[in-house]
Chains A and B, each alone.
Chain A
């Protein structure tokens, strides 16, 4: 026999009650785990998504900068446009290394599938060092560079003449294909800027400009100059680092609320565990007295009851982590529906340190919850074994 085995036996006495208590711990752990995994996933997701854009500053038409950033990142149709001549003014600002003009629009094919067309110049390549192109970048009229997912879905091959989805009889030639970038680029169809403007009848208009700086430390100064130029009043200059912090701040308020919920859930679970073990100790008073009478020390009894508590908590914690894993897709879908801005990357990120942190947190909780019942159990006098007449075995 071992202390662990002896404490495990206690579970057999009231399996339903103990399991319900462990379930409470599991729910609290799942909440905590999901929150931490979401915090990690969302932060990393937003950071990577903005990093994939390759720019330090996003220049968009006047309006809500977050909506504009969301469209630029995930693809979509724009409600308003920048004039083409603003590009020269942006390029003229000191500190701007690359200003890549973009025209983006989304169309739906007959099967309701969305196709995002993105017109760009070759200088976009300066912003996308991570791109791996099979074939070549579009050089001639109606040539396309397609994202890996768009190519897979449409079964397009390099050199193939294809009908442009959503654009009636317009044809294009697949000149190149992007290796999977694990982001929105995978679903985009890139083409030359003039081709996109012509196809969507928006000659000399842009949806946004991606700006990369020669020195990222000069961000504030460059932003100031961009806002101060002639076109500054007609466009929104969005520093992506600021956007990242603003999005994080917006989400932080939700996170704090969820953190409070997780904390309350943990405290309630801890009180539940303490109450359950306390009840078990009360029910076993004479039995504990017998154990004391036949040689168990106060420390033995304390450790036994404490071990029982930790066991319930740890079982609940492991079940909670498993529950969080199983529910992660549902949680992610719910978060995406709820948040105004969510990256395409996984929002709930699994990491071992999060699981370990949750288990550690629950062990601490279990230790605190088990202290009172264990202390009370250790104080049971061996005389109780004789004094309590009647009762069960």
Chain B
């Protein structure tokens, strides 16, 4: 599988993207006819009210779900045509995830949490681990457990973990949602720094400060891009 963006620099291109979920006898159109593209090195915010389809879009871009119709290309690979195994491989190698709730494994140390994606990929992680610990300024916390860390530190661990396999795209779901404003600003600064280094980032956020820090916004209302 290719590890590089397409020749014209597009990481993501979506056309007529629609996702319909069954809910009992009804069908919920979570995302309807969304078309957009994302170039390499862009920093994009996905915004909109609750139920607008932000999470659905994130699931699709993150290769965690398939669209009902339309096409979604990630590094030129049509997501809708990939098998579960191919999507897992793509997620592992090309996408980094940052969650609102951090998603750290409580039984593992900081170092073990960060190294987890490399472990799943069967790669050696020591050198990259040290590099990332230094980048997020947590070298002194490497053997601590998540419950010994502050919210900001946990989110920095999550970011380091997301970067472990050197992904093409970083997806963040409300990364400042569980943090106070000061800590949130630290995380926003870290995202900006990563973007300056060339990483493509999509954040789903309600945070205006974070929204303003991005290059552009994709605003969703009732499943449609506005």
Contact = CB atoms under 8 A, between A and B. Distances in A.
B42 interface: no
Given A294-B92, A382-B64, A12 B58 contact: no
Interface in B90-109: 91-93, 96-97, 99-108
Contacts of A287: 103, 105
A393 B104 CA distance: 6
Contacts of A294: 91-92, 96-97, 103, 116-117, 120, 161-162
Contact of A381 (B64, B99, B120): B64
A13 interface: yes
Contact of A390 (B101, B116, B146): B101
Contacts of A383: 59, 64-65
Contacts, number: 88
A385 B103 contact: yes
Interface in A349-393: 381-383, 385-387, 389-393
A393 B101 contact: yes
A94 to B, nearest CB: 80
B35 interface: no
Contacts of A1: 112, 115-116, 119
A385 B162 CA distance: 14
B147 interface: yes
Contacts of B147: 393
Nearest to B116: A294
- Is chain B's binding surface mostly helix, strand, loop or mixed? helix
Contact of A298 (B84, B91, B108): B84
A9 B145 CA distance: 12
B62 interface: yes
Contacts of B102: 393
Interface string A292-323: 11111110100000000000000000000000
A286 B106 CA distance: 12
Given A287-B103, A383-B65, A385-B97, A393 B146 contact: yes
A291 interface: yes
B107 A10 contact: yes
A290 interface: yes
Contacts of A295: 88, 91-93, 117, 120-121, 165
A386 to B, nearest CB: 5
A393 B109 CA distance: 13
Contacts of A297: 85, 88, 120
B120 A296 contact: yes
Interface in B74-98: 84-85, 88, 91-93, 96-97
A140 to B, nearest CB: 82
Contacts of A10: 107
A13 B92 contact: no
Interface size class of B (residues with CB under 8 A): 35 or more
Contacts of A6: 108, 119
Contacts of B99: 290, 385-386
Contacts of B55: 386-387
Contact of A293 (B85, B97, B107): B97
Interface in A11-31: 12-13
Nearest to B84: A298
Contacts of A286: 101, 103
Contacts of B117: 294-295
A390 B104 CA distance: 13
Nearest to B99: A385
B88 A292 contact: yes
Interface string A26-54: 00000000000000000000000000000
A393 B58 contact: no
A51 to B, nearest CB: 58
A12 B65 contact: no
A12 B147 CA distance: 14
Nearest to B104: A393
Contacts of A13: 106-107
A300 B64 contact: no
Given A294-B92, A383-B65, 5 more contacts: A286-B101, A297-B120, A298-B84, A383-B59, A383-B64
27 contacts: A1-B112, A1-B115, A1-B116, A6-B119, A9-B108, A13-B106, A286-B101, A286-B103, A291-B105, A291-B116, A292-B88, A293-B91, A293-B97, A293-B103, A294-B97, A294-B103, A294-B117, A294-B161, A294-B162, A297-B88, A298-B84, A383-B59, A385-B99, A386-B99, A387-B55, A392-B106, A393-B104
